[in-house]
């Protein structure tokens, strides 16, 4: 599951993820836009214990093994920032002990004798599971890279505005100084005395 949301200034936002006992959860978050690019983060178990806690970080990747069934809370905290809202990207992946697709028991229903097949069915299934896990990990990495690119783009746009503003201001100051210098030089050579001839 991937999600990008806007965290208001001075607020805390929580999301819930249901997990079974002995599952593992891998999650990562990243602040894409906002002043300081930092938020607080806490992962809280169904019984109320704080499993992971980060304070004022721009990103984080954590892996947690569940010890109980229920809904785990992922809370993002921006209460320390009274003026600035933050855009936050996060991704949650649940790795079940049974398997990623409920066990894939359909392989066991195939009735071919092992003597007729060169490879064992378990070897093929292990290879397919390995390929699936590698593809899933690649998808996760691409999602994180997309979030990094979005954060860099927001930072670039903000910097572009700052550079444009200060460049225009510098140009106006330079024009004002040039006009003032021309006026001053003209006044130096301006002959105000009248010569009677």
> pTM value?
0.56
The residue with greater pLDDT, 106 or 193, is 193
Q: What is the pLDDT of residues 112-146, one digit of tens each?
A: 555 555 667 777 888 888 898 889 888 888 888 88
- Produce one character per residue of 139-172: b if its CB has 16 or more CB atoms within 10 Å, e if not: ebeebbeebeebbeebeeeeeeeeeeeeeeeeee
Q: What is the pLDDT of residues 6-37, one digit of tens each?
A: 989 889 999 998 888 888 888 889 888 888 88
Quote the pLDDT of residue 43.
92
CA distance readout (Å), 23 to 4, 63, 66, 72, 99: 24, 11, 6, 12, 10
Picking from 45-54, 68-77, 122-131, which range would have the lowest pLDDT averaged per residue? 122-131
CA distance readout (Å), 5 to 14, 71, 85, 170, 177: 11, 20, 10, 37, 47
Q: What is the C-alpha separation between 153 and 112, in angstroms, rounded?
A: 55
Quote the pLDDT of residue 187.
86
For the chain, the domains span: 2-156
Query: What top-level class would CATH report for the domain 2-156?
Result: mainly beta
């Amino acid at each position: 599951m991937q999600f990008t949301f806007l965290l208001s200034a001075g607020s805390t936002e929580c999301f819930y993820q249901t997990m079974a006992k002995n599952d593992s959860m891998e999650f990562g978050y990243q602040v894409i836009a906002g002043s300081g690019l930092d938020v607080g983060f806490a992962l809280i178990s169904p019984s109320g214990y704080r499993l992971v806690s980060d304070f004022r970080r721009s990103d984080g990747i954590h892996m947690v093994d569940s010890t109980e069934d229920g809904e785990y809370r992922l809370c993002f905290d921006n209460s320390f920032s009274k003026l600035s809202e933050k855009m936050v990207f996060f991704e949650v992946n649940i790795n079940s002990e049974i398997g990623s697709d409920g066990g894939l028991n359909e392989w066991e229903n195939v009735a071919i004798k092992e003597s007729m097949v060169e490879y064992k069915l378990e070897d093929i299934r292990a290879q397919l599971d390995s390929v699936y896990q590698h593809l899933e990990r690649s998808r996760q990495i691409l999602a994180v890279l997309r979030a990094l690119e979005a954060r860099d783009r927001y930072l670039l746009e903000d910097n572009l505005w700052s550079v444009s503003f200060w460049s225009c201001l510098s140009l106006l100051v330079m024009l004002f100084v040039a006009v003032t210098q021309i006026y001053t030089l003209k006044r130096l050579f301006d002959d105000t005395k009248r010569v009677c001839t």
